[in-house]
A and B are shown apart, each in its own frame.
Chain A
Amino acid sequence: MSLSPDPSVIGGVSSPKFARVPKAELPFARRATRLRHLAKSSHLAPYLRFLADLAEAQQRVADTLGAADPLDAELVERNRSYRMPPLDRAALIASGSMKTALGALVSEAAKIDMPAAARAALEELSLAPESDCQTMLGQLSAGQVPEGLSAHAVFAAAALQVVAVRQAAAIDAQKLVPISVGTCPACGGQPGVSMVTATQHQEGARYACCATCATEWNEVRVKCLCCGSTKGISYRAIDDGSTASVIKAEVCDECHSWVKILYQNLDTALEPVADDVASLGLDALMRDTEWKRGGFNAFLSGY
């Protein structure tokens, strides 16, 4: 290692990449660690610990499935020329690996300690006919939790995440093109939250985080991720007297929706799914306002 000073590390101009696909070591293990950390100081601890166990189960399922095959280069090129995402969610759901993942996740999740209601939902999901599972996965990939089935949806969404994240990790991020505001360039899904990053050479850039495949893509700051408006954007945070809230609600007066924004440049430990759930207090306060939650998180429906 050279001992010569390298001032370029502290200086430098941000040059954000358009998209960041999940790394080969998938995000589940880090998510589990973060959830356990958040559980230490939250009333939601039992749920956060359950989700940590679930994230570890997701990791185990991903390990059994192994790395995904790269997508057909011709298909990627064709979709790119039409500004379409390379991943087809419908095909993903119908694929054999989805079926394997759902089966594996159900049996892995069964080992987790959970309340009776959750266990009953898991059992029902394991007995549900194939067509029902397909419909549910279809709805989840479209950013909806089937009404009245939010407990079942947690496990189905966990399995969908494994398959989508694993496939997204096999994509070449350089080949992705912007599709439209608030649409994942890898799978066409909906973002859960957005994040102002602290990644070196990308400091201060905002990335929307796909709720399905965990791909992150660059979106201009101070812009609504639901309608793309830059007019009438303001922010809400829990008023605890601090001036630098690390999680805020980005509110749009044009389409009356809001999406959470996480400031990794203020707290590098923030994780898009774990901190979204742990900051449920903000959702609770926002529920009583005129704005509707625009970010999707299958582990947090009803807010």
Chain B
Amino acid sequence: MNIDLSRRSFLKLAGAGVAATTLGSMGFGEAEAQELALIRPFKLATLTEIRNTCPYCSVACGIIMYSKGDVRKEQAELIHVEGDVDHPTNRGTLCPKGAALKDFVRSETRLSQPMIRRPGADKMEPISWDDALDRIARAMKDDRDENLVQFNEAGVPVNRWTTAGFLAASATTNETAWATFKAVKGMGIAGFDNQARV
């Protein structure tokens, strides 16, 4: 339906100047001009609403995170979090922990970098990611070398490491959960929860 309706077919059409807006052509141009003058000093605020998954537990509720600013282009500040009505798991609802996510994200005590409490110390101190990962790898290797069970009671070869545990986050994708499972079970860790249960 794209027939071009000619102005000429309307009889006695008044005036030559065609007002561009409905308000102008209806004779409400003055009110429109006042509104435009009022709005001119204002700017547009950029806001975002982004879907995500609640990181707390394995239920993996859908959430909508409201921010001021667009983190894909600049800095953004989280202003509100609510349950995602379109999400099949929670259909808009959140538990008390999930409902308090904004405060969790913006908490002053939120962990934002790797920290270490050295032997005998009473405080945590920052450590670089490289150092932290090296230390974790070292500690795991030492523990595994010391405690790995290689044969069961019947003498059958097994890969059983029971002195270390591994907890993964709930907001991971299937692919991440699969890779985590492979890596962790490959090392023989028995106490493992990648929160992919639901």
A and B held together in a complex: yes
- The residues of A with any CB-CB pair to B shorter than 8 Å are 13-16, 42-47, 50, 114-118, 120-121, 124, 127-129, 132, 135-136, 138-139, 141-142, 144-154, 203-206, 220-222, 230, 232-240, 243-245, 248-249, 280-281, 284-286, 289, 298-303
Question: What are the 9 closest A-B residue pairs judged by CB atoms, nearest first?
Answer: A115-B27, A302-B21, A117-B27, A239-B45, A281-B39, A43-B34, A142-B1, A235-B47, A204-B85
Which of B12-20, B110-118, B165-173, B175-183 makes up part of the contact surface?
A: B12-20
B71 to chain A, nearest CB (A): 10
**A129's closest neighbor in chain B, by CB?**
B9
User: Pick the contact of A135 from B3, B21, B70, B86 — CB < 8 Å?
Assistant: B3
Given A129-B9, A234-B46, A238-B42, A14–B85 Cβ distance below 8 Å? Answer: yes
In the bound complex, residues from chain B placing their C-beta under 8 Å from that of A244 are 80
Expressed in whole angstroms, the Cα–Cα distance for A15 and B88 within the complex equals: 10
Asked if B154 is an interface residue, CB under 8 A from chain A, the answer is: no
B22 touches A236 (CB 8 A): no
Given A128-B10, A150-B22, A220-B86, A139–B5 Cβ distance below 8 Å? Answer: yes
Expressed in whole angstroms, the Cα–Cα distance for A197 and B194 within the complex equals: 36
**B77's closest neighbor in chain A, by CB?**
A243
**Chain B interface, number of residues (Cβ within 8 angstroms):** 55
In the bound complex, residues from chain B placing their C-beta under 8 Å from that of A117 are 14, 19, 25-27
In the bound complex, residues from chain B placing their C-beta under 8 Å from that of A152 are 10
Given A121-B26, A127-B11, A238–B85 Cβ distance below 8 Å? Answer: no
Asked if B126 is an interface residue, CB under 8 A from chain A, the answer is: no
A289 touches B44 (CB 8 A): yes
**B48's closest neighbor in chain A, by CB?**
A234
Expressed in whole angstroms, the Cα–Cα distance for A141 and B19 within the complex equals: 22
User: Pick the contact of A47 from B4, B23, B80 — CB < 8 Å?
Assistant: B23
Expressed in whole angstroms, the Cα–Cα distance for A150 and B26 within the complex equals: 8
A238 touches B39 (CB 8 A): yes
A208 to chain B, nearest CB (A): 14
In the bound complex, residues from chain B placing their C-beta under 8 Å from that of A205 are 85-86, 92
12 A-B contacts, Cβ less than 8 Å apart? A13-B93, A118-B28, A150-B26, A220-B86, A222-B50, A235-B49, A280-B32, A281-B38, A285-B39, A285-B43, A302-B22, A303-B21
**A202's closest neighbor in chain B, by CB?**
B85
B10 touches A248 (CB 8 A): no
B64 touches A15 (CB 8 A): no
Expressed in whole angstroms, the Cα–Cα distance for A151 and B23 within the complex equals: 8
| Contact pattern, B 74-100, Cβ under 8 Å of A = 1, otherwise 0 | 000001101111100001110000000
Question: Given A42-B35, A286-B44, A298-B22, 7 other A-B contacts at CB below 8 A?
Answer: A203-B85, A205-B86, A222-B50, A222-B51, A233-B48, A233-B49, A302-B22
B44 touches A234 (CB 8 A): no
A200 to chain B, nearest CB (A): 13
**A157's closest neighbor in chain B, by CB?**
B22
**B9's closest neighbor in chain A, by CB?**
A132
Asked if B31 is an interface residue, CB under 8 A from chain A, the answer is: yes
In the bound complex, residues from chain A placing their C-beta under 8 Å from that of B4 are 147
**A236's closest neighbor in chain B, by CB?**
B44
Asked if B191 is an interface residue, CB under 8 A from chain A, the answer is: no
In the bound complex, residues from chain A placing their C-beta under 8 Å from that of B25 are 117, 121, 150-151
Most chain B beta carbons < 10 A, residue from A46, A142, A244: A46
Asked if B7 is an interface residue, CB under 8 A from chain A, the answer is: yes
Given A238-B39, A302-B20, A302-B21, A124–B11 Cβ distance below 8 Å? Answer: yes
A103 to chain B, nearest CB (A): 17
Expressed in whole angstroms, the Cα–Cα distance for A164 and B113 within the complex equals: 59
B13 touches A124 (CB 8 A): yes
Expressed in whole angstroms, the Cα–Cα distance for A5 and B19 within the complex equals: 59
In the bound complex, residues from chain B placing their C-beta under 8 Å from that of A128 are 9-11
B5 to chain A, nearest CB (A): 4
In the bound complex, residues from chain A placing their C-beta under 8 Å from that of B80 are 243-244
User: Pick the contact of A141 from B1, B12, B42, B64 — CB < 8 Å?
Assistant: B1
A139 touches B3 (CB 8 A): yes
Most chain B beta carbons < 10 A, residue from A120, A141, A148, A303: A148
B45 touches A47 (CB 8 A): no
User: Pick the contact of B42 from A124, A230, A281, A300 — CB < 8 Å?
Assistant: A281
B64 to chain A, nearest CB (A): 6
A155 to chain B, nearest CB (A): 10
Given A14-B91, A47-B26, A115-B27, A284–B5 Cβ distance below 8 Å? Answer: no
Expressed in whole angstroms, the Cα–Cα distance for A206 and B84 within the complex equals: 11
User: Pick the contact of A120 from B2, B14, B30, B39 — CB < 8 Å?
Assistant: B14
